[in-house]
Homo-oligomer: A and B are copies of this chain.
Amino acid sequence: MPPKQDTSQLAPSERTRLKRAYKRGDYNLQMIYDILAAMPLCHVSYVLDGKPVVTPTLQWREGNRVYWHGSAASRLIRKSEGADVCMAVSILDGMVMARSAFHHSANYRSAMLFGKASKIEDDAAKEASLKYMMDELFPGRWETLRPMLAKERKATTVLTMPINEASAKIRTGPPVDDEEDYSLPIWAGVIPLTTNVDVIENDPRNLDGMIAPENLKSFKIG
């Protein structure tokens, strides 16, 4: 049975309404979920003293919420709790080379999510959420690890927001040139980009006989 697809559509808000390039945009929840699942790297922006700050971190999704975490001591984690944030998840899929400079473009999948960040206060819920993140990235790994200590849980803040003001933008395919330019003798095309998972490196301090779990070989990204 194929995985259940979420066919819900979000209502566009003033901020997510796609004014430009609207053919590339969508409010389909499954499309947003797929982008979040493909790329753990995200960029979260906050307003700090009236000015914008954006930082890279890793995100994960559970149900209709997105999560990210960081050191409880980090200024940005502390300042963003309860605050408005905007998260972008972007995958650069290719460079699109047209017959004019103007129509050069990029192929990409990107999601933009707006919301108010809240902190998971409950200890058990926090640890469950961190375990969920790891299970998504590296199934089965959590159980093999040295258990999380209370002080580690305390030192980690997990932030979350609902996915209810969000949009996706996707561009695929060849360049789109002005019709009259197609007759010009100019090469056009796409340089496709993918994320390559290279050969896994063992920690030089591994004990003798330790081998990488078989299922890590199926780790994929992008």
Interface residues of A (CB under 8 A from B): 15, 19-20, 40-41, 43-48, 50-56, 58, 71, 73-75, 84-88, 90, 92, 95, 97-102, 104, 106, 108, 110, 112, 114, 130-131, 134, 137-138, 141-142, 144-149, 152, 155-156, 174-175, 177, 181-207, 210-213, 216, 219, 221
Complex formed: what's the CA distance from A110 to B196 in Å?
19
On whether the beta carbons of B88 and A54 are closer than 8 Å, the reply is yes
On whether the beta carbons of A192 and B198 are closer than 8 Å, the reply is yes
- A207: chain B residues at CB < 8 Å are 183-185
Q: Chain copies in the assembly? A: 2
Would A203 and B189 be within 8 Å (CB), given that A54-B86, A75-B19 are in contact? yes
Complex formed: what's the CA distance from A71 to B19 in Å?
12
- Selected from B108, B114, B134, B188, the residue in CB contact (under 8 A) with A101 is B134
Residue of B nearest to A105 (CB): B58
Closest Cβ of chain B to A47, distance in Å, is 5
On whether the beta carbons of B182 and A205 are closer than 8 Å, the reply is yes
- A193: chain B residues at CB < 8 Å are 195-198, 221
Task: Give the dominant DSSP class at A's interface.
Answer: mixed
- A19: chain B residues at CB < 8 Å are 74-75
- A210: chain B residues at CB < 8 Å are 185-188
- A138: chain B residues at CB < 8 Å are 95, 97
On whether the beta carbons of A56 and B189 are closer than 8 Å, the reply is no
Complex formed: what's the CA distance from A183 to B208 in Å?
11
On whether the beta carbons of B186 and A202 are closer than 8 Å, the reply is no
- A46: chain B residues at CB < 8 Å are 52
Complex formed: what's the CA distance from A85 to B51 in Å?
7
On whether the beta carbons of B15 and A102 are closer than 8 Å, the reply is no
- A85: chain B residues at CB < 8 Å are 52
